[in-house]
Amino acid sequence: MQERTGHHAPTTMDQLKRIDPRDLIMLLQCEPRQLLGRIVQLNRAPRYHNTLNAVVLAAEVTDLRGQRGSGGNEEQSA
């Protein structure tokens, strides 16, 4: 059983709020195959000091990319 230490796992919103806006822009603009590596690099930086959940953050950035790119048009006609 897991022991309660008073610490809680960061939620998704905590992850997005924790990211500097300039870093978020960089993550949104990087190649999809580079995303996780870039997040790991950021996580090693002194300003984040290994406090980011790289998998959750990568999923959130991917979701944000989808929202930005869709423009509300779910379906395209040929």
pLDDT at 8 > cutoff 80: no
User: What value does the mean pLDDT of the chain take?
Assistant: 81
Return the pLDDT at 45: 96
Residue 1: inside a domain, yes or no? no
Q: What percent of the chain has pLDDT over 70?
A: 71
Q: Is the separation of the CB atoms in 58 and 36 below 8 Å? A: yes
Q: Give the number of other Cβ atoms within 10 Å of residue 25's Cβ.
A: 11
Residue 4: inside a domain, yes or no? no
Return the pLDDT at 16: 83
Q: Is the separation of the CB atoms in 10 and 51 below 8 Å? A: yes
Residue 19: inside a domain, yes or no? yes
Residue 31: inside a domain, yes or no? yes
Q: How many domains does the chain divide into?
A: 1
Q: Which of 31, 29, 25, 27 is nearest to 40 (CA)?
A: 27
pLDDT at 57 > cutoff 80: yes
Residue 71: inside a domain, yes or no? no
Residue 18: inside a domain, yes or no? yes
Quote the domain boundaries for residue 22. Answer: 12-66
